[in-house]
Amino acid sequence: MTFAILTLVIASFFTSPAISGNSQARIKARCAQTPYPQPCEHFMDHNPKYGFSIKGNFDFFKMSKQLALDTAMHAQVNAYSLSAKCRNAKEKAAWADCLELYGNTIMKINKSIDHGTSIDVQTWLSTALTNLETCERGFIDFGITDYVLPLMSNNVTKLISNTLYLNKGSYEEPAYKEGFPTWVSPPDRKLLQSETRQANIVVAKDGSGNYKKVNEAFAAAKERSGSGRYVIYVKQGTYSENVDIGNGLKNIMVVGDGIGKTIITGSKSVGGGTTTFKSATVAVVGDGFIARGITFRNTAGPQNHQAVALRSGSDFSVFYQCSFEGYQDTLYVHSERQFYRGCDIYGTVDFIFGNAAVVVQNCNIYPRKPPNRTNTITAQGRTDPNQNTGISIHKCRVTAASDLKPVQSSVETYLGRPWQKYSRTVFMETFLDSLIDPAGWMPWSGNFALDTLYYGEYMNTGAGSSTSRRVKWKGYRVITSASEASRFTPGNFIAANSWLPGTNVPFTSGL
């Protein structure tokens, strides 16, 4: 993949003649408001349909979204043409991720043009931006530096950032109401056998269900009619499968027999030749996904580096009474709005990571024995200050896993480190045991992101909760205001009151 190829790719973008006169001046003035005026002005100037349609702020915002969409579609076409130039299996794997992520990006931008509230639009545009970053990360996983697609993505990234900036402001709550079927037990009751019989599909290794494999159930679910909640009951057993729940599978609910009983396990990893994105034992993208009583596991081990147990890019996804077990990069909260309640999360390095707007509430977080004597619980990936994303750890417990306890005193365990420039993470009303290092937080590399991140702690308890020796970074703060802390509660951060009640999952909306 040479510079000459890249030149041809860029030359293929928007070759219409430039506009002039009042329209050009109007475009220049509007684009000057954005974080990246140059690509805004360049692409609009070379496409008369944009300049002639702008009559006010609303028109400019709508045209900015359309411009981002058109540019992303051009980049996707060129990505397909360039994929044949890949030189080896690892490069092909990274390119395959990019093709999938570009498709999702186009879907999200397109959705934002004519649908949703302003907070929906900000969420979808945030996801579009995250997808492009994830595309680039696939190459980084394998140490590939002379790739083309991220260079092609640069203008798309800037144009999406412009739309995020233009959309920022007051948000309305989304209105997503699909939840549990009425026959499912309330959370404080056992899921009775008589009720699980009413599931649409039953998976059982012993042959007593409709299918023996989880993937077979999802294949069947693709053929279902209607858009209501579709329930898959997975009976007790260990299912060695990698499951990919795509955009076409919405409003799916998977019910297991409980943590440690229904287990879905895999072993893909970056060390084994898979990108972080594709290493997930279970990956879910279809909106409205709910899981209950399932263990998601990746057994690649610490020596194989990034190895995801679950990746979620499902908007309005809920995980209740589930377990996520791995080492590095266990739980990939990739994008969109997510909620975790009553779950167990195990790992070593960056084991809760990604760029979703996510609240983890009333969960047990278990750092394990690491290979290099250092644990980092979170690595949040916000790349743009206008993305409405972050990791909120609320009313949880952070204690050592059984394998860490004997060597706990020789291991440094941190609450997180800044994966990206605007990394945002809070720990609130959470029990932090003595394993937490007094500094609390760990740098990523030198001074990177220390001024631009947002890391906060509010009313935590336990031997590791003292903030007297915490880092002195500009972006770190001990939150003393309840109103500031409440920004990161389910009710405010993920608009929980408009959609979580329909799931029957218990949650605390505020502090």
Residues carrying an active site annotation: 350
For 365, other C-beta atoms within 10 Å of its C-beta total 28
Tokens of 199: 């599931």
Asked if residues 416 and 377 have their Cβ atoms less than 8 Å apart, the reply is yes
CA distances from 284 to 20, 287, 305, 356, 369 (A): 47, 8, 22, 13, 28
- Distance, in Å, from the CA atom of 89 to the CA atom of 258, rounded to the nearest integer, reads 38
E strand or H helix at 296, and its extent?
strand 295-298
Tell me how far apart the alpha carbons of residues 127 and 129 are, in angstroms, rounded to a whole number. Answer: 5
Interhelix angle 89-114/149-167, rounded to 10 degrees, is: 20
Residues 6+ apart with CB under 8 A from 60: 30, 54, 166
Q: Which two tokens stand for residue 144?
A: 């590939």
Which residue is listed with tokens 């409980």? 258
Name the residue among 220, 277, 276, 291 with its Cα closest to residue 249.
220
Q: Determine the Cα–Cα distance for residues 288 and 314; give it in Å rounded to an integer.
A: 7
